[in-house]
Chains A and B, each alone.
Chain A
Amino acid sequence: MSEIDLRIAAPVNGVAGLRAAGLAAATILILAAPLLASEYWINAIIVPFLILSLAGLGLNLLTGYAGQLSLGAGAFMMVGAYATFSLQLRVPDLPLPLALVVSGLIAAAVGVAFGIPSTRIKGFYLIVSTLAAQFFFEWLFLKFPWFYDGNSSATISLPRGLTVFGLNAETPHGRYYLTLGAVALITLLSFNLVRSQTGRNWMAIRDMDTAAAVIGVPVTRAKLQAFAVSSFILGIAGALWAFAYLGSASVQSFGLSRSYQVLFIIIIGGLGTIRGAYLGAAFVSLLPLALDWLFQHLFSGHVDAGLLQNIQKGIFGLLIMWFLVREPEGLARLLGIRLTARRRLFPSSQN
């Protein structure tokens, strides 16, 4: 063993050890979060944050990795939510987790159907197809009472509440762990997916689809795969949004503004990164709270709610433009720069 070997090996081990320790600490923190956070934080901030992250992840696979712009995230979430409702109502034997998966598959099928135009058109022409989905489903789920079981307020809520294999999950902790489980599992799968052949095909298409076709990437199939996977995840996110967060949902819960919100999450967080969805969702969930807090302390109630809403909207608009101009790769990249800088400073580290 020469000295050089040791010098190279040691820092790598150090970083890896540090990473493992960090990961373990994070895992413990995440699992124990319900014990530390108040009920309000879990119900009103952490659960919606997790679900929005999931939705952002779903859209990011389509827009950030495969390069297919979509303004129909809300539509696919809607399909997932209404499918879960129908399954729980009409197939009572199916346990909730399985119903979620089946709903995801239904949303995936719908996503493929509305993704078919992407094989012929590209760029922002595609927003027509995804907007068509948005408006069509808003109409469909409101027009035909079968979809909401004739409920007088046209809303949907689970007939037996949030029950997972006979256990009642209708508590803050139950909602949290159900959401966390789904989010963690799907995130893990996504990490692997984007590193697989499929993910690499997507990125090749995003970077230049003509070139991708020339080197033999099956463009049509890969695009439809992206729509399927993205809609699957969005469908599950929609079902969770409706039943784990809101409790009862309607078409308005998944309107066009939801689609924009999810798009903003991935722009701010970072297009084409997995953690970008989390960073963006955290930003989108926390910014309104921070602004509320700030205005309450600065003006102590002198600013009316309408104006506050407009200020928030304006700040959002500004941030989106700022990110696109200054940091097109979003928060994920901003954080990435700081992390690599620190790693470079790590004692005797070579890289």
Chain B
Amino acid sequence: MSMFPETLIGGLLAGTMYSLVAIGFVLIYKASGVFNYAQGSILLFAALTFVSLTDQGVPALVAIAITIALLVLMAIAIEKLLLRPLTNRSPMTLFMATLGLSYLVEAVAQGIMGSQVRALDLGIDDLPVFVGDIMISQFDLIAAGVALALGIGLSLLFNRTRIGIQLRGVADDTRAALSLGIDINRIWQIVWAVAGIVGLVAGLLWGARQGVQFSLSLVVLKALPVLIIGGFTSIAGAIVGGLIVGAGESLAETYLGPFLGGGITPWFAYALALVFLFVRPAGLFGERQIERV
């Protein structure tokens, strides 16, 4: 019976794709306390820009460079025009502002680059690999490797570099960070730019999987339960949360789905997240907040 391990491993690998998206959210949440709903649209924008450029015959590396440059410009614009005026407003206001931002980014991306499905070939063949008698997709393995590498790289950035330490300072206590002379506006720009680049990586992998199209921006809805389970503030949490959601979804669809008529994937992750919330409202790796009047 290799069905159970195969389902489990397939689910875990699919879960790393969720982690990849979730990491982008964690970065921004850590630094500015914003649940950035627009991460999905930024992911779409990045993938769409890359595909449009390579379709025009631009070499892949140049296309990546141009896309990253655009993402950095976007990060600066978002910080200057949206985040700075909204400093000190409630997290709900900021969330709704990013909802508006996602509309704008989607509209610009699709208005300029079209809304038809684009194929994206990263040169990775989706060949099955056998470990014992368990079949694993090669593409999934590579995606999982990328997610892991990104997670480790960003953790190092946060814990070992000067920018990372400043960033954690801003996340911990904005006012104290300001009085110590940390330029929080610059930190925000950097974080949003890095999150954009993480979005580009995620967008390319997801785009190679299901084509570059509008539905890419909906992966944000997949990442939300991942964040809830892992906690909004932990990269390790995002990876573990992704694994739990991926494995949970694929096991539930295989073993629970038949009893419920199938197709339960869209809401199962949310039900799972709700269960976790009842037990640990701050997520597995999140920091518990103490409220004062």
Q: Give residues in A with beta carbon < 8 Å to B.
A: 67, 69, 117, 120-121, 123-125, 127-129, 131-132, 135-136, 138-139, 143-144, 208, 210-211, 214, 256, 260, 263, 267, 306-307, 310-314, 316-321, 324-325, 328
Chain B residues positioned under 8 Å from A328 (CB to CB): 89, 93
- The docked-state distance in angstroms from the alpha carbon of A125 to that of B233 is 13
Which residue of chain A is the closest to B277 with respect to CB atoms?
Answer: A121
Are B224's CB and A131's CB within 8 A?
yes
27 intermolecular pairs with C-beta atoms under 8 Å apart? A117-B274, A117-B277, A121-B277, A123-B91, A124-B35, A124-B91, A127-B95, A128-B228, A128-B270, A128-B273, A131-B224, A131-B270, A135-B266, A138-B266, A143-B261, A143-B263, A208-B293, A260-B99, A306-B115, A314-B108, A317-B102, A317-B105, A318-B100, A324-B86, A324-B96, A325-B86, A328-B93
CA distance A22 to B28 in the complex (A): 50
Whether A125 lies near B228 (C-beta < 8 A) is: yes
Q: B103–A320 contact, CB under 8 A?
A: yes
Cα of A321 to Cα of B271 in the assembled complex, Å: 31
B-side binding surface: helix, strand, loop or mixed? helix
Residue of B nearest to A122 (CB): B281
| Residue numbers in A under 8 Å from B91 (CB-CB) | 123-124
What's the minimum C-beta distance from B111 to chain A, rounded to whole angstroms? 4
B277→A320 contact, CB < 8 A: no
- Residue pairs across A and B with CB atoms within 8 Å: the count is 121
**Which of chain B's residues have a CB closer than 8 A to the CB of A319?**
100
Say if the beta carbon of B73 comes within 8 Å of chain A: no
Residues of chain B with a CB closer than 8 A to A263's CB: 96, 99
Q: Which residue of the partner chain, among B101, B110, B278, contacts A317 with CB atoms under 8 Å?
A: B101
A307 to B110, CA, bound (A): 8
Besides A320-B100, A324-B93, 9 other A-B contacts (C-beta < 8 A): A123-B91, A123-B92, A128-B270, A210-B292, A312-B107, A316-B103, A317-B103, A318-B100, A320-B96
Q: Is the CB of A131 within 8 A of B261?
A: no
Whole-angstrom CA separation of A127 from B99 in the bound complex: 13
**A314 with B103: CB separation less than 8 A:** yes
Q: How far is the CA of A349 from the CA of B226 in the complex (A)?
A: 59
Q: How many chain B residues touch A (Cβ–Cβ < 8 Å)?
A: 45
B286 to nearest A CB, angstroms? Answer: 10
A139 touches B266 (CB 8 A): yes
Across the two chains, which residue of chain A brings its CB closest to B78? A321
Q: Which of A256, A311, A318, A325 has the most CB of B within 10 A?
A: A325
Are B89 and A139 in touch, CB under 8 angstroms?
no
Q: How far is the CA of A69 from the CA of B102 in the complex (A)?
A: 18
**7 smallest beta-carbon distances between A and B, as pairs:** A320-B100, A317-B103, A317-B104, A314-B107, A132-B270, A310-B111, A135-B267
| Shortest Cβ gap from B146 to chain A (Å) | 27
Cross-chain contact of B85 among A143, A256, A325 (Cβ < 8 A): A325
A132: B residues at CB distance < 8 A: 267, 270-271, 273-274
Q: Please, how many angstroms separate the alpha-carbon atoms of A128 and B281 in the complex?
A: 12
Known: A125-B228, A325-B85. A135 touches B270 (CB 8 A): yes
Q: How far is the CA of A317 from the CA of B281 in the complex (A)?
A: 31
CA distance A210 to B105 in the complex (A): 37
Please give, as numbers and ranges, the residues of chain B lying within 8 Å of A320 by CB-CB distance. 96-97, 99-100, 103
Report the bound CA distance from A139 to B271 in whole Å. Answer: 13
List of A residues within 8 angstroms of B249 by Cβ: none
Q: Once the chains bind, are A139 and B96 in contact (CB under 8 Å)?
A: no
Asked whether A313 and B106 contact (CB < 8 A) given A144-B261, A210-B292, the answer is yes
- Identify which of A117, A124, A210, A260 contacts B92 (C-beta below 8 A): A124
Residues of A within 8 A of B69 (CB): none
With a CB–CB cut-off of 8 A, which chain B residues contact A318?
Answer: 100, 104
- Answer whether A324 and B97 are a contact pair too, CB < 8 Å, given A131-B221, A210-B292, A306-B115: yes
**Closest CB-CB distance, A302 to chain B, in whole Å?**
15
B193 to chain A, nearest CB (A): 19
Across the two chains, which residue of chain B brings its CB closest to A326?
B85
